[in-house]
Structure 1
Amino acid sequence: MKVIIIEDERPAYEKLVHFLKRYSDQTEVIGAAQSVQEAVDVLQQKGQQADLLLMDIQLADGLSFAALDQVPLKKPVIFITAYNQYALEAFRANGIDYLLKPLTYDAFSSSIDKLKQLSGTFSDPLQSIQDIYKKLSKPQYKERFLVKIGDHIHSVPTEQIQLFFAEGRNTYLVNGAGRRMITDYKLETIEEMISPEQFFRVNRSYIMSLTGIKDVLVYSNSRLKINPSFDFKEEIIVSREKVAPFKEWFGGGI
């Protein structure tokens, strides 16, 4: 299989070459580019010889779609990117798959398997776009958090976590039994890892789980106080600026 790689990050390029060789020693990289203009040149020279294009979407000087606009090729493309907003464009550009960084070999090999199954045809474009959107419509949230208890390391399922909170230099999670355990992540990082349907950051120090709320009381100065469903001594107050979005979240508005 002859492959052209369009990728502007050297480590990412080397990883793709490694994955190709790992998949099959019969693969050959016949061209490479790091920019849109370089991609145009290599596609003009060697595009017709290629069996597959591996293309990072965001290059230093623009989007790789621009190269395909200038050099239309009916060749299968696997797009690789750190962003997920380009699914439709990827499909329109003969994309057979859309892989999100950081790239894993399992995801990569599954895409090559898909290419082999298609046997160079695009007879079912509707299914292709459905596959892409199915993948992208399910955000991948963290399923477990590691915590250290004494000399032991435990894995706590996210669904069992009722609360994350910061105290001093430490960040803690609290399980359904009310046990608090230290985690290595900051609240800002945790907020990006967990489902916004299940968790809400009620103030600077607390991220509350929906299942961890017993009820909510009207508090002073138009704020709200959360009564947790687990044993927790500290008050959990929804900050004034968070009251309206909290009510929307708590009422199922998200």
Structure 2
Amino acid sequence: MKVVIIEDEAFASKRLKKVLEELVPDIEVQAQLASVESSLNWLGNNPVPDLIFLDIQLNDGYGFDILDKLKKHPPVIFTTAYNEYAIKGFKYNSIDYILKPIDKKDLAIAMNKYRDNSKNKSFDIIPKLEEFKTLLSKDYKRRFMVKVGNHFNSVKVENIAYFFSDAGIIFLKDHKGNKFPLEYSLDQLEEILNPLDFFRINRKYLVQLNAVGEIHQYFNSRLLLKLNPDEDDKIIVSRERCSDFKKWLDL
């Protein structure tokens, strides 16, 4: 199976390639492209791959721009951090639409869909609209139960500024500066919180949009943040997440 990955984040592209090679031993990733321009150039000068993994927001445009300029494109699996493009993706007869961070199980399901369509020679069959309705109406976490002394309180998600890891413990900090320990990992929190509202800026912090105050350029192509409420730590957006972070802010 010959595939092409179109993803402008090098870290995300490498991770997707690694997981694909684990799931599909005979897969051949022919190219890892990072822009609309380079993708159109490659696709216009090489045999059509069996499948394209396509990020929707790229540095110089949208993945849809690539498909619009191709007379005929192979099956597509969209990969994106934003679920509001699902209906538009539906119009391109995609195999699947996977939200970032990409889960290995979700990727395996998408590959099974591809194989089923391949057997039936049904690449042009439009995916069921209900799948996209489910995606758009995903029931994200709305509140967390926290312990305060000898009793418990419920904290609404909209009152949370950020989550962070400290000495192996995950804490929730609300907009008033109160912090509470949680029995979740940051990876788990990413899965249950709305990605439109929360963003994982590095291995230690998952921040809410309204908690982001000042943003400064930092060395090594990173960003330095001032959060509200403030933290003693230097809050740095990791280099591999900066591009997606900027897109998230500009949504």
Supply the RMSD in Å over aligned alpha carbons: 3.2
Q: Are the aligned partners of 2:93 and 2:124 in contact in 1 as well (CA < 8 Å)?
A: no
Give runs of ≥4 in structure 1 deviating > 3 Å.
143-150, 161-169
> How does the TM-score come out when normalised to structure 2?
0.57
Q: 2: CA distance between counterparts of 1:36 and 1:149? A: 51
Question: What code does the residue aligned with 1:170 have?
Answer: N
What displacement does 1:132 show?
A: 2.1
Q: How big is the shift at 1:5?
A: 0.7
Contact 1:8 1:35 in 2 (8 A): yes
Which deviations, in whole Å up to 9, do the C-alpha atoms of 1:94-133 show, x marking residues without a partner?
31111111111111111101111112414642x4333222
Tell me which residue corresponds to 2:165: none
Residue identity opposite 2:37 in structure 1: Q
Identity of aligned residues (%): 36
Q: Is 1:68 matched up with 2:67?
A: yes
RCO higher in structure (CA 8 A, sep ≥6): 2
Comparing 82-91 with 109-118, greater Cα deviation is found at 82-91
The answer to whether the Cα contact below 8 Å between 1:80 and 1:100 also exists between their aligned partners in 2 is yes
1:121 aligns with 2:122: yes
Mapped to 2, the partners of 1:58 and 1:3 lie a distance apart of 19
**Highest Rg: 1 or 2?**
1
Note the alpha carbon deviations across 1:147-199, whole angstroms, 9 max, x for none: 5789xxxxx9xxxx64557596424xxxxxxxxxx3469xxx9xx948xxxxx
8 Å Cα contact 1:31/1:46 also seen in 2: no
Correspondences of 1:11-90 after superposition (within 5 Å): 11-46=11-46, 48=48, 50-90=49-89
The one-letter code of the counterpart of 2:129 is I
Distance 1:90 1:167, change over 3 A: closer
Where does structure 1 lack aligned partners over 5 or more consecutive residues?
A: 151-155, 172-181, 195-254
Unaligned runs of 5+ in 2: 160-173, 195-251
Structure 2 distance, partners of 1:4, 1:28, is 9
- Provide the rounded CA distance (Å) in 2 between the counterparts of 1:146 and 1:27: 44
In 1, Cα distance between equivalents of 2:131 and 2:68: 24
The one-letter code sitting in structure 2 at the alignment partner of 1:63 is Y
DSSP 3-state at the match of 2:98? strand
Contact 2:53 2:79 in 1 (8 A): yes
Contact conserved, 1:145 with 1:183, CA < 8 A, in 2? no
Query: Is the Cα contact below 8 Å between 1:55 and 1:79 reproduced in 2?
Result: yes
Quote the residue 1:8 is aligned against.
8
**Distance in 2 (alpha carbons) for counterparts of 1:3 and 1:109:** 15
TM-score by length of 1: 0.57
Superposed counterparts of 1:1-254, under 5 Å: 1-46=1-46, 48=48, 50-119=49-118, 120-122=121-123, 124-125=125-126, 127-138=127-138, 140-142=139-141, 145=144, 162-163=154-155, 169-171=177-179, 182-183=180-181, 193=193
> Which residue identity is paired with 1:28?
E
Counterpart amino acid of 1:2? Answer: K
Q: Look up the SS of the partner of 1:54 in the other structure.
A: strand
SS at the partner of 2:83? coil
